[in-house]
Amino acid sequence: MDGPAANSAAWEGALTLGDILATAGVTNLSDVLVIRHTVGGPGLADDSAVNPNGVLEYTRDQELTTLKFPKAPPRHWLVFIADGQLRSRFFTSYTNEGEALGERTHDRRRYHLAPSSLLHTLSNRLVIEWGRDPVNWAKMATKAASFRVLEISDPVALPFPGHLSIDLSFTELVEATSSLRYRQWQSALGSVKGIYLITDIGTGGLYVGKADGADGILGRWRQYASTQHGDNVMLRAAIAADPKLTSRLRWSVLQVFGSSATPADVDAAEAHFKRVLVSRRFGFNAN
């Protein structure tokens, strides 16, 4: 039958997990496993266990029996934490890189799981209704796709830690300069001029830069978020030669200036840090 009765959820305007996955670009639901953990028991004993490492270790460890867990689980795993009798809140996602055969025991098997970006912006925000079968804690997305979305909460604002406490990877830099969660960061970074440091944590190579434009450090760092290299000649060449370099870079702040600072003050500080950190010789500063 055609019309509203054929798909009442869609006609009512209700969202489902399947809608969310489709929006994220997932076209093959059979490649996604949806897992629901409860808090209170031998695995996640209490709220203190609900942390990235605790959830990862609990999730990768499974019984050898295949009664509830697939014998050959798919590549993408979505992990939800029970948030009431049927409510389940999205915690994180993993990429299944296969069983860790060397860790298998007579009744347990463990998997190599890597953090995934799938639905990562909805972490701790997306709440679904776990059907009417909370006991069945692992479902293929082909079945879980019909679960209704109960809530998508606003992102939790992250407090600004202070300019001299910043230490960001490239992925974090992109979020810090664009995400609504980082509103306090953006206000603080956009209101000051400063000297910043980019560090290659693989080789120790350094780049000392200055941010003295109208939008302060925020404006300069947004250029890096957009281009990776911020139009720095040596850094651009280094990334072209080694595309994995970006994943090793970290951004921090060395010094900030008040509104009374002159361009000469900023230039002098930049030259000082280049000299004492020897970034012209062992880094990405050409001059």
pLDDT at 6: 43
* Cα 145-146-149 angle, rounded to 5 deg: 90
pLDDT at 4: 43
pLDDT at 164: 97
- Whole-angstrom distance, CA of residue 229 vs CA of residue 251: 12
pLDDT at 48: 83
- Reported as a single tens digit per residue, the pLDDT across 9-58 is 555 668 999 999 999 999 999 999 999 999 987 778 888 888 888 999 99
Please say whether the beta carbons of 258 and 194 come within 8 A. no
53 in helix, strand or coil?
helix
pTM for this structure?
0.57
- Which structural domains are found in the chain, ordered by start? 4-152 (no CATH), 163-282 (3.40.1440.10)
pLDDT at 11: 54
pLDDT at 1: 36
pLDDT at 181: 81
**Residue 47 in tokens:** 């709220």
**Residue 283 in tokens:** 């880094």
pLDDT tens, position by position, for the chain (287 residues)?
344 444 555 556 689 999 999 999 999 999 999 999 999 877 788 888 888 889 999 999 998 887 778 889 999 999 999 988 789 999 999 999 999 999 999 999 999 999 999 999 899 899 999 976 656 789 999 999 999 999 998 877 889 999 999 999 998 999 899 887 898 999 999 999 999 999 999 999 999 999 998 899 999 999 999 999 999 999 999 999 998 899 999 999 999 998 889 999 999 999 999 999 999 999 999 98
pLDDT at 185: 95
Going along the chain, which residue ranges are E strands?
A: 32-37, 61-63, 76-82, 87-99, 108-115, 126-129, 138-140, 149-152, 168-169, 193-200, 206-211, 249-257
Q: Which of 33, 60, 55 is nearest to 45 (CA)?
A: 55
